[in-house]
């Protein structure tokens, strides 16, 4: 090898969902402009650990490679972020060149293998809060009304959420002790309740947001806001939905009768 | 709609913390400030306030409905909330995450403090002079003074930081700006409460002479 500079990796591995985790170190020849995904690809090409032993290649997920799918999210030096967007040179700018980089799977999701976790829970919860616009009905909605410009701006920012799980990872109230659906989903309800057609199912979403594991589980630690790679102001959307759910709770009670509405 | 949810209890927990528990805390501090009144007569003023409060009609009903039940509800459900959180301040060292963590630590300290405080000041002594005397004698001991001060500071943090989170939980402060302003106000209030409470404790413990407590 012409180049003797190496990238030193320490990876938290786990052979299966139920087996014990262990740490393994790898050295990869340094090249400029690498990111964590390309480093992991090098590991896959030549899966030999620091002790020189041939091991199973490290498993991880990735898809879009441009920070829009969220599949490659993992803990990089303890911080949840997308490995495709984690540039090695940028990391070294902060830690110093050649400093060992640790990679670990997200801790709030079941581990499938190595760095690959099962994020299904987030998708189930998106269904629970009906985070979509209903267009299939018994009558034609046609194009429907348009978003007002002033709402469109902040709503667009929420629509960039890729269900990556960073905010869920950082939230102290998302844990196996609670069923909290997490910050991202509260923002999604705000998005679809603001959408001119989505608004027609507003109550259903508010209702879902107040069920077990709903918005009430937030305790305002505000970590979610800090770690979101899409810089969605989650705390603002949570506070706004706090108000909406309380208003809705009163309304639901005042209108309640045998007709159910 | 009929599905089980903790939404209501969580909001009741939050509301009770302000009305009546937080309001009671403020009234309680105001009444205890009688000890700071009238120079040498601080002791006499304070004694009279205790006598008055003890003799008010239906005071036991007020204690039960305005104080005991709300605090117990807030405390018991609060302990559950403390249990549920998976604190991570070492990985996410943001100011608000520390505040969140402290809110839980102070909840535990406040629980211990309130149990001791209520037993000593409400259940062990009943006659106003004796209540005051036992409190003053306890606070004269520097160790107990410090423990008492820590207990009070925990309550003060818990209440003032709680005001900040309450405003978010009820959707009053929504954007970054109002939340930041209220964060500063809540920190300022903490300092005010801290100085206020420690002043009362110091006077009753005789550490600040001239209010008629040092001769107990
Ligand atoms: C002097 C008595 C107390 C006062 C004045 C008080 C006040 C408050 C206030 C104002 C809040 C904020 C509510 C919100 O964010 O919506 C709060 C939250 C909280 N309190 Fe208390 N509290 C007291 C005692 C206790 C005790 C003894 C516990 C025992 C465990 C406790 C546990 C909690 C917890 C866990 C929270 C956080 C709730 C959340 O973030 O959702 N509090 N308290
Ligand atoms: S603000 Fe709420 S949702 Fe966001 S990290 Fe804190 S507790 Fe979790
Ligand atoms: S809100 Fe941000 S951090 Fe949370 S899942 Fe969406 S993109 Fe990821
Ligand atoms: S691969 Fe899609 S976000 Fe990284």
Q: What is the mean pLDDT of residues B199-215?
A: 89
Which residues 6+ apart lie within 8 Å of B175 measured at CB?
A233, A236
Q: Does A157 touch chain B (CB under 8 A)?
A: no
Same domain, yes or no, for A203 and A106? no
Same domain, yes or no, for A133 and A248? yes
Atom 8 of ligand 1, residue of closest alpha carbon? B17
A59-113 confidence digits (pLDDT tens)? 999 999 999 999 999 999 999 999 999 999 999 999 999 999 999 999 999 999 9
The closest ligand to the CA of B160 turns out to be 1
Same domain, yes or no, for A41 and A160? no
Which of these three, A117, A132, A150, is where a domain ends? A117
Cα(A172) to ligand 2 centroid in Å equals: 7
Which residues 6+ apart lie within 8 Å of A51 measured at CB?
none
Which of these three, A83, A117, A151, is where a domain ends? A117
Query: Which of B86, B161, B163, B177 has the highest number of chain A CBs within 10 A, making it the mutation to test binding with A?
Result: B86
Q: Does B92 touch chain A (CB under 8 A)?
A: yes
Residue A217 half-sphere exposure toward CB, CA atoms < 13 A: 27
Q: Looking at the 3D structure of chain A, how many domains does it have? A: 2
Bigger pLDDT: B92 vs A259: B92
**Domain membership flag for residue A23:** yes
Q: Does A199 touch chain B (CB under 8 A)?
A: no
Same domain, yes or no, for A169 and A249? yes
The boundaries of the domain holding residue A187 are 120-255
Share of chain B above pLDDT 70, in %: 99
Which pTM value belongs to this model?
0.93
A186-205 confidence digits (pLDDT tens)? 999 999 999 999 998 999 99
Which ipTM was obtained for this model? 0.92
Contact residues, chain B, for A226 at CB < 8 Å: 92, 94
Q: Does B180 touch chain A (CB under 8 A)?
A: no
At A1 the pLDDT is: 45
A4-43 confidence digits (pLDDT tens)? 799 999 999 999 999 999 999 999 999 999 999 999 999 9
**Domain membership flag for residue A261:** no
Question: Is the pLDDT score of B125 beyond 90?
Answer: no
At A135 the pLDDT is: 80
Question: Is B82 exposed, middle or buried, given 0-12, 13-18 or 19+ CB atoms closer than 10 A?
Answer: middle
Residue B206 half-sphere exposure toward CB, CA atoms < 13 A: 16
User: How far does the CA of residue B112 sit from the closest CA of chain A (Å)?
Assistant: 22
Please indicate whether residue B18, judged by its CB atom, sits closer than 6 Å to ligand 1. Answer: yes
Who among B7, B96, B176 is closest to A210 (CB)? B7
A218-229 confidence digits (pLDDT tens)? 999 999 999 999
Atom 2 of ligand 3, residue of closest alpha carbon? A228
Same domain, yes or no, for A53 and A106? yes
Q: At what angle do helices B7-16 and B69-84 cross, to 10 degrees?
A: 120
Nearest to A205 by CA among A188, A218, A180, A183: A188
Q: What is the mean pLDDT of residues B177-190?
A: 98
Was domain B7-205 assigned CATH 1.20.1300.10? yes
In this structure, what DSSP letter does residue B120 have?
Answer: I
At B1 the pLDDT is: 46
Domain boundaries, given as residue ranges, for chain B: 7-205
């Amino acid at each position: 090898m012409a180049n003797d500079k190496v990238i030193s990796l320490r990876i938290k591995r786990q052979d299966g969902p139920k087996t014990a985790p262990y740490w393994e170190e790898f050295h990869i020849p340094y090249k400029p402009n690498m990111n964590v995904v390309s480093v992991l690809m090098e590991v896959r090409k030549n899966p030999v650990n620091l002790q020189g032993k041939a091991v199973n290649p490290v498993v991880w997920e990735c898809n879009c490679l441009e920070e829009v799918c969220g599949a490659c999210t993992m803990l990089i030096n303890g911080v949840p972020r997308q490995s495709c967007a984690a540039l090695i040179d940028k990391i070294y700018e902060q830690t110093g060149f050649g400093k060992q980089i640790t990679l670990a799977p997200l801790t709030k999701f079941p581990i499938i293998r190595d760095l690959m976790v099962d994020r299904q829970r987030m998708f189930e919860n998106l269904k629970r809060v009906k985070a979509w616009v209903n267009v299939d009905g018994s009558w034609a909605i046609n194009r429907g009304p348009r978003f007002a410009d002033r709402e469109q701006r902040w709503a667009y920012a929420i629509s960039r959420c890729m269900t990556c799980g960073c905010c869920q990872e950082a939230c102290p109230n998302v844990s196996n002790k609670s069923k909290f659906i997490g910050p991202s989903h509260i923002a999604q309800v705000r998005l679809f309740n603001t959408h001119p057609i989505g608004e027609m199912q507003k109550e259903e979403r508010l209702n879902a947001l107040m069920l077990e594991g709903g918005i009430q589980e937030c305790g305002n630690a505000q970590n979610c806001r800090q770690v979101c790679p899409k810089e969605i102001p989650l705390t603002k959307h949570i506070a706004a939905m706090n108000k909406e759910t309380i208003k809705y709770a009163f309304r639901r009670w005042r209108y309640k009768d045998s007709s159910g509405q | 709609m009929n599905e089980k949810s903790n939404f209501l209890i969580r909001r009741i927990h939050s509301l009770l913390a302000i009305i009546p528990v937080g309001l009671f805390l403020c009234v309680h501090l105001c009444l205890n400030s009688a000890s700071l009144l009238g120079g040498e007569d601080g002791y006499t003023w304070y004694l009279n306030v205790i006598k008055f409060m003890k003799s008010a009609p239906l005071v036991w009903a007020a204690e039960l409905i305005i104080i005991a039940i709300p605090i117990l509800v807030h405390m018991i459900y609060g302990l559950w909330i403390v249990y549920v959180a998976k604190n991570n301040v070492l990985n996410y060292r943001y100011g608000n995450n520390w505040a969140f963590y402290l809110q839980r630590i102070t909840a535990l300290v406040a629980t211990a403090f309130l149990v001791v405080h209520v037993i000593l000041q409400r259940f062990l002594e009943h006659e106003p002079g004796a209540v005051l005397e036992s409190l003053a004698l306890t606070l004269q001991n520097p160790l107990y003074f410090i423990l008492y001060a820590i207990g009070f500071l925990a309550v003060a943090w818990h209440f003032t930081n709680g005001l900040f989170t309450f405003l978010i939980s009820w959707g009053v402060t929504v954007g970054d700006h109002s939340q930041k302003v209220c964060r500063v106000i809540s920190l300022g209030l903490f300092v005010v409460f801290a100085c206020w409470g420690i002043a009362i404790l110091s006077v009753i413990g005789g550490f600040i002479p001239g209010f008629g407590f040092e001769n107990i």
